[in-house]
């Protein structure tokens, strides 16, 4: 994603007449004599870098000039940046800019003999860099402006003339008075150069000030659009308007006069209130009334926004804690004409770290706190907390927000959640009773009865009495009966519906299902299929997707179109359990309790009963049906397109089927025909590669390959229920290799075409960090499957192929160098790993600078390599350098990772106390962002255990290793190598005070390692050796 403002490299203009850069360069070339041009013309940028490094080594003994490279790098980058544009404009041989690199190399060469003045030359270079830095900052905004290009060309000319004069002065022999006079003359010329640069800078600043204001407006519009896309908030306003329209006025008003509500609304003490009530008791009606009330009462002249979220109205994907916080942030910033600085800062930090969407790593709580400081008051209303993905976590965050800002008032509505009651103490809880809602239900019933055409006064009164009494505080029950009455064919029919309708939601749902069962077999099957999709779909499916899914059977038949149901018919046959939202073109249950009821099977299916129409049903059967539909569609869609051409009615199912067939399959019951369909689908390598790429880069997973490997294991486990032998098509390591290379090829094509999106779902480009995250996980899979040589081979071949067609120092080669370094490290080729990462770092520092986050990634990696080489102090230096940059970047996960690696270096240095402190700081960050049982948290916990072992604090050490082991058992399973190694870690500590327990742990680890790695693997051999040592020690006791 783009940052704000977005910068890009200078682009060459249309060829034809000479451009300002060319004019300035030709002016400079004219100042060179023929001998100089001949001497300079074959020099490259890499020659200059080599000269700098040579000079730095030569001057290493001087305390004043040991950092030459880092000090002149910015100027070299400035020259290189525009030199490439110049070479692109002229395309002459030898390339024109080689003259500049030749000049710089000779200057450095001769200056090295004048150490007395070298420091002053470097100071002068830094002064020039300060002057020219503004150009890169605004080049994106003004790159098409002729005055800007002219100012840039003048700066270029002045810079090159300065370098040439410096070369001339330093080329003079000896330290004579004449040489010193030449230096003084040069310094005077240099001051003139600086004044000229200042004038050009003033021209630039004037140009910026005079720039068309519409351009600035466009930038800020783009900024708001980018931030909105980054937040991707659920549309809470649409939910509110829909509920407000459905609510019968004045329902919900009774709460506004209740003492607890008034205290929440006015008091400075109880600023958070939790309203609980049973399913269907009208909590959403209350939340909508509260929002309307606060909006009507607030002062329009001051900022007092109401931020709200309807959990019950959103898909599971939009019920996460971060999606709720994103919606709150979006509603707050809507109050501001200009985006607050805190939002822009958070957005820029997030995109620097390659996060396309807001995540907990972006510290949304801190952002909300910063925004609250700009508001007079903020009201937060969360409806349906019990339907959020993690109600406990959402509750914690709401409490934290309310406690952090005195101007925040938070109101939460949900069913009773006993596990959270203690956490909420001592804040007030209001429990809805039937007495509270009786009057509202009466108003609602009277209003709805008045809309029925057949209703006379006498019948109205009878029905009103029965509904008022039978509702017993349940809005939903009354609503379901009223919808049934709307379909009555006569007064007799209406009275029969009311008389035979049971009391209570479950009995009401059963009665509705009994009516469904009176339909034709085909109608019953269609009803169940429709309800199955609503119950089990991984996300809300639009009508276009749903109607295609309902028609999928034998797609090769041309009459599939005749099986597509009518939208109105589906609403009618599933009423009153389902409602249609026209603005979103989706169907949904009228209440979450409908889904819960349909998936609750309390009895064994009747013998002879058709499973295709049976309701309720088991969730595994629902997933089985959808997995079958998805794979059938994917396997037969090609046949349909070949025979009939692309079909607009069925195409919408393609995206859902591709994304979620595996999600449904691993949740379904085993079936041999479905197993065959899965293997048929995966047998096509292009199809398989496309699907794996979507899993790796098409979803917002923090650890995509881990997600894919876990899915691979789930598919294998599901398939193991059948007789089929393990299929190599479920071993995807080679596929991942090909995908990474394909991604690189696509990115190169996009760079040449200027595209900002990739081919996977039209999302933002796959980032450097995403690729390296996959590589790191891939190397672990190579290690565990003894295939590191395979990984080294394809990476080496890919790097050689790329270097053969490009300059060896091209930035696009770095990810392969990084990848090779990671694999070399896993192979214990640590010297080679460090050298490879050092080469990557040199290229990154040249192209990106020393503080770029991609550069810092390599710095951290080098820190790890140095630790493995026992170069502990170098390791600490590298990690400390990385940490200093990352602490200002906003990427807390990278900070935590660096803290942990720095701690390991500290432990290696013999400083376990400081190592423990660093690990604890990292764990605090990771727990907040990833959860207490995330693998990275457990790794750091084990590290603390090792530090305590170094201090001979064996009890504390064992406690931490046991936390790690139990967590890995739950998260990774007993058959995971990390879990087995955690057993060995704990056994190593237990051996200090309980050798029998230690032996038991090592034996358990040995069994698993032998099964997974083989008897000769070094980890297996290590466990066997430990057991032998312990048995010898035990026998002596």
CA 859 to CA 688: how far, in whole Å?
36
Distances from the Cα of 570 to the Cα of 242, 291, 527, 592, angstroms: 21, 33, 8, 19
CA 221 to CA 883: how far, in whole Å?
34
- Looking at residue 10, what is its pLDDT? 38
- Ramachandran sector of residue 430 (left: φ over 0; alpha: ψ -120 to 50; beta: rest): beta
Residues 540 and 617 in one domain: yes
Torsion sign across C-alpha atoms 603, 606, 612, 614: negative
Residues 199 and 283 in one domain: no
- Looking at residue 143, what is its pLDDT? 57
CB atoms within 10 A of CB 270: 15
- Looking at residue 116, what is its pLDDT? 63
CB atoms within 10 A of CB 204: 21
Residues 297 and 404 in one domain: yes
Residues 188 and 273 in one domain: no
Give the CA count within 13 Å in the CB-facing half-sphere of 494.
22
CA 751 to CA 610: how far, in whole Å?
57
Residues 243 and 387 in one domain: yes
> Within a domain: residue 628?
yes
3-state secondary structure of 82: helix
- Looking at residue 15, what is its pLDDT? 41
pTM of the model: 0.59
- Looking at residue 730, what is its pLDDT? 56
Q: Which domain holds residue 315?
A: 230-432
Distances from the Cα of 793 to the Cα of 218, 458, 778, 788, 834, angstroms: 49, 87, 14, 9, 18
Q: How far apart are the two ends of the chain, measured CA to CA in Å?
A: 65
Nearest to 788 by CA among 1018, 1020, 1024: 1018
Nearest to 999 by CA among 953, 972, 1031, 975: 1031
> Within a domain: residue 218?
no
CA 247 to CA 35: how far, in whole Å?
89
Pinpoint the alpha helices (H) of 754-829. 768-784, 788-805, 814-826
CA 918 to CA 899: how far, in whole Å?
6
CA 101 to CA 106: how far, in whole Å?
9
> Within a domain: residue 139?
yes
Max Cα–Cα distance, the chain, nearest Å: 121
Pinpoint the alpha helices (H) of 308-363. 321-333, 341-352
- Please say whether the beta carbons of 112 and 50 come within 8 A: no
Distances from the Cα of 247 to the Cα of 171, 244, 381, 486, angstroms: 88, 5, 17, 18
Residues 186 and 235 in one domain: no
Pinpoint the alpha helices (H) of 889-993. 892-908, 912-930, 935-950, 954-971, 977-990
> Within a domain: residue 925?
no
CATH code of residue 390 = 3.40.50.300
- Looking at residue 506, what is its pLDDT? 78
Residues 279 and 419 in one domain: yes
CA 235 to CA 305: how far, in whole Å?
16
Distances from the Cα of 841 to the Cα of 746, 835, 858, angstroms: 25, 10, 6
Burial of 856 (0-12, 13-18, 19+ CB in 10 A): buried
User: Edge-to-edge strands of the sheet including 408-414?
Assistant: 306-310, 378-383, 408-414, 272-276, 429-431
Residues 327 and 249 in one domain: yes
- Is the link from the previous residue into 58 a cis peptide, with omega within 30 of 0? no
Annotate 446-504 with DSSP letters as a single string.
Answer: HHHHTT-TT--HHHHHHHHHHHHHHHTT-HHHHHHHHHHHHT-SSHHHHHHHHHHPPSS
- Please say whether the beta carbons of 413 and 272 come within 8 A: no
Residues 446 and 545 in one domain: no
CA 487 to CA 447: how far, in whole Å?
17
CA 139 to CA 144: how far, in whole Å?
9
- Ramachandran sector of residue 201 (left: φ over 0; alpha: ψ -120 to 50; beta: rest): alpha
CA 574 to CA 66: how far, in whole Å?
79
Secondary structure of 885-912 in the HEC alphabet? HHCCCCCHHHHHHHHHHHHHHHHHCCCH
> Would you say how long the chain is, in residues?
1037
Nearest to 653 by CA among 754, 555, 781, 766: 555
Provide φ and ψ at 764, rounded to 5°.
Answer: -60, 160
- Looking at residue 956, what is its pLDDT? 95
Pick from 634, 652, 669: which residue ends a domain?
A: 669
Bridge partners (DSSP) listed for residue 274: 412, 429
> Within a domain: residue 596?
yes
CB atoms within 10 A of CB 280: 22
Number of domains into which the chain is organized: 5
Pick from 402, 432, 462: which residue ends a domain?
A: 432
For 866, the enclosing helix (H) or strand (E) is helix 853-868
CA 231 to CA 344: how far, in whole Å?
12
> Within a domain: residue 725?
no
Residues 203 and 311 in one domain: no
CA 1005 to CA 1019: how far, in whole Å?
10
Residues 658 and 603 in one domain: yes
CA 470 to CA 472: how far, in whole Å?
6
CB atoms within 10 A of CB 287: 26
Distances from the Cα of 681 to the Cα of 278, 605, 684, angstroms: 46, 32, 6
Provide φ and ψ at 66, rounded to 5°.
Answer: -85, -5
> Within a domain: residue 320?
yes
Nearest to 204 by CA among 133, 151, 140, 141: 151
> Within a domain: residue 901?
no
Cβ neighbours of residue 414 closer than 8 Å, sequence gap 6 or more: 274, 275, 276, 283, 384, 385, 386, 387, 391
- Please say whether the beta carbons of 401 and 380 come within 8 A: yes
- Looking at residue 910, what is its pLDDT? 95
CA 233 to CA 328: how far, in whole Å?
8
Pick from 640, 669, 698: which residue ends a domain?
A: 669
- Please say whether the beta carbons of 200 and 155 come within 8 A: yes
Per-10-residue mean pLDDT, the chain, length 1037: 40 50 74 76 73 72 59 72 56 56 69 67 71 57 63 74 73 54 62 70 64 60 85 83 80 86 88 90 89 82 83 65 92 89 85 74 88 92 90 91 92 90 87 87 85 75 83 82 80 78 78 79 86 90 86 58 77 82 84 84 47 78 93 75 49 84 93 91 83 68 62 83 63 71 59 48 54 76 79 86 77 88 90 94 90 90 94 95 84 86 96 95 85 86 96 95 92 86 95 93 94 88 94 85
Residues 148 and 38 in one domain: yes
CATH code of residue 1032 = 1.25.40.10
């Amino acid at each position: 994603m783009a940052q704000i403002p977005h910068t890009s490299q200078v682009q060459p203009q249309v060829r034809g007449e000479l451009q300002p850069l060319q004019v300035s360069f030709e002016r400079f070339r004219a100042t060179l004599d023929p001998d100089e041009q001949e001497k300079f013309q074959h020099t490259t940028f890499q020659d200059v870098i080599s000269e700098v490094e040579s000079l730095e080594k030569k001057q290493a003994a001087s305390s004043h000039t040991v950092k030459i490279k880092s000090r002149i790098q910015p100027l070299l980058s400035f020259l290189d940046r525009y030199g490439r544009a110049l070479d692109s404009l002229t395309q002459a041989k030898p390339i024109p800019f080689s003259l500049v690199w030749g000049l710089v190399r000779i200057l450095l060469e001769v200056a090295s003999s004048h150490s007395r003045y070298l420091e002053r030359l470097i100071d002068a270079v830094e002064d020039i860099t300060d002057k020219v830095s503004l150009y890169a900052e605004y080049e994106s905004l003004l790159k098409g402006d002729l005055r800007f290009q002219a100012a840039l060309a003048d700066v270029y000319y002045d810079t090159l003339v300065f370098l040439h004069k410096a070369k001339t002065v330093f080329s003079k022999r000896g330290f004579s008075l004449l040489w010193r006079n030449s230096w003084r003359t040069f310094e005077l010329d240099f001051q003139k150069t600086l004044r000229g640069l200042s004038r050009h800078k003033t021209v630039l600043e004037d140009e910026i000030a005079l720039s068309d204001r519409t351009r600035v407006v466009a930038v800020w519009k783009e900024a708001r659009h980018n931030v909105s896309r980054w937040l991707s908030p659920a549309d809470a306003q649409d939910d509110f308007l829909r509920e407000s329209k459905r609510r019968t006025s004045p329902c919900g008003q009774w709460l506004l006069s209740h003492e607890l509500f008034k205290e929440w609304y006015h008091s400075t003490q109880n600023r958070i209130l939790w309203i609980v009530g049973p399913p269907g008791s009208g909590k959403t009606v209350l939340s909508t009334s509260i929002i309307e009330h606060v909006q009507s009462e607030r002062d329009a002249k001051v900022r007092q926004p109401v931020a709200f979220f309807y959990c019950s109205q959103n898909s599971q994907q939009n019920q996460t804690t971060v999606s709720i916080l994103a919606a709150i942030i979006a509603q707050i910033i809507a109050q501001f004409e200009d985006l607050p600085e805190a939002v822009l800062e958070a957005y820029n930090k997030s995109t620097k770290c390659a996060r396309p969407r807001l995540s907990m790593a972006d510290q949304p709580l801190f952002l909300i706190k910063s925004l609250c400081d700009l508001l007079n008051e903020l009201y937060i209303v969360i409806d349906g907390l019990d339907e959020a993905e993690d109600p406990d976590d959402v509750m914690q965050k709401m409490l934290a927000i309310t406690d952090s800002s005195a101007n925040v008032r938070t109101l939460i509505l949900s069913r009773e959640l006993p596990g959270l009651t203690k956490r909420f103490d001592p804040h007030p809880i209001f429990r809805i009773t039937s007495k509270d809602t009786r009057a509202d239900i009466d108003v609602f019933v009277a209003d709805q009865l008045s809309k029925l055409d057949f209703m006379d006064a006498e019948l109205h009164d009878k029905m009103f009495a029965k509904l008022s009494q039978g509702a017993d505080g349940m809005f939903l029950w009354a609503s379901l009966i009223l919808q049934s009455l709307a379909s009555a064919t006569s007064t007799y029919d209406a009275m029969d519906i009311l008389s035979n309708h049971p009391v209570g939601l479950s009995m009401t749902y059963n009665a509705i299902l009994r009516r469904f069962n009176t339909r034709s077999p085909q109608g019953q099957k269609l009803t169940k299929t429709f309800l199955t999709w609503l119950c089990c779909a991984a996300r809300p499916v639009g009508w276009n997707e749903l109607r295609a899914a309902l028609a999928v059977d034998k797609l090769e038949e041309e009459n599939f179109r005749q099986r597509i149901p009518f939208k109105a018919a589906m609403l009618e046959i599933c009423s009153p359990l389902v409602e249609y939202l026209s603005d979103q073109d989706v169907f949904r249950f009228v209440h979450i309790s409908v889904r819960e009821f349909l998936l609750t099977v309390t009895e064994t299916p009747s013998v002879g009963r058709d499973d295709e129409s049976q309701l309720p049903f088991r969730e595994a059967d629902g997933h089985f049906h959808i997995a079958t539909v998805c794979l059938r569609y994917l396997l037969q869609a090609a046949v349909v397109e070949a025979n009939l051409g692309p079909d607009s009615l069925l195409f919408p199912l393609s995206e859902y089927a591709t994304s979620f067939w595996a999600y449904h399959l691993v949740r379904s019951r085993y079936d041999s025909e479905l197993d065959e369909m899965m293997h048929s689908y995966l047998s096509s390598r292009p199809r398989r590669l496309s699907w794996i790429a979507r899993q790796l880069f098409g979803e917002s997973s923090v650890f995509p390959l881990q997600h894919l490997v876990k899915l691979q294991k789930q598919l294998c486990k599901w398939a193991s229920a059948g007789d089929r032998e393990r299929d190599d098509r479920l071993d995807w390591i080679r596929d991942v290799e090909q995908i990474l290379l394909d991604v690189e090829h696509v990115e190169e094509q996009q760079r040449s075409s200027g595209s900002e999106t990739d081919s996977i779902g039209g999302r933002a480009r796959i980032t450097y960090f995403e690729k390296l995250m996959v590589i790191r996980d891939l190397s672990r899979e190579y290690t565990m499957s003894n295939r590191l040589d395979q990984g080294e081979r394809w990476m080496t071949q890919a790097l050689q192929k790329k270097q053969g067609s490009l300059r060896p120092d091209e930035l696009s080669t770095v990810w392969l160098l990084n990848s090779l370094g990671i694999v070399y490290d896993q192979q214990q080729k640590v010297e080679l790993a460090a050298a490879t990462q050092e080469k990557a770092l040199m290229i990154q520092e040249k192209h990106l600078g020393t503080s770029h986050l991609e550069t810092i990634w390599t710095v951290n990696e080098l820190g790890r390599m140095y630790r493995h080489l026992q170069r502990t102090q170098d390791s600490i230096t590298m990690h400390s350098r990385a940490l200093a940059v990352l602490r200002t970047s906003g990427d807390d996960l990278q900070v935590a990772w660096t803290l942990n690696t720095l701690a390991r270096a500290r432990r290696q240095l013999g400083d376990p106390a400081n190592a423990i402190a660093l690990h604890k700081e990292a764990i605090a960050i990771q727990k907040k962002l990833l959860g207490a049982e995330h693998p990275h948290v457990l790794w750091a916990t084990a590290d603390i255990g090792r530090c305590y072992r170094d201090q001979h604090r064996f009890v504390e050490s064992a406690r931490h290793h046991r936390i790690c082991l139990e967590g890995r058992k739950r998260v990774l399973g007993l058959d995971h190598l990390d879990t087995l190694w955690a057993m060995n870690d704990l056994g190593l500590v237990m051996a200090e005070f309980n050798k029998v327990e230690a032996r038991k742990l090592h034996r358990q680890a040995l069994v698993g390692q032998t099964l997974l790695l083989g008897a000769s693997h070094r980890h297996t051999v290590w466990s066997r050796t430990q057991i032998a040592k312990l048995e010898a020690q035990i026998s002596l006791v």
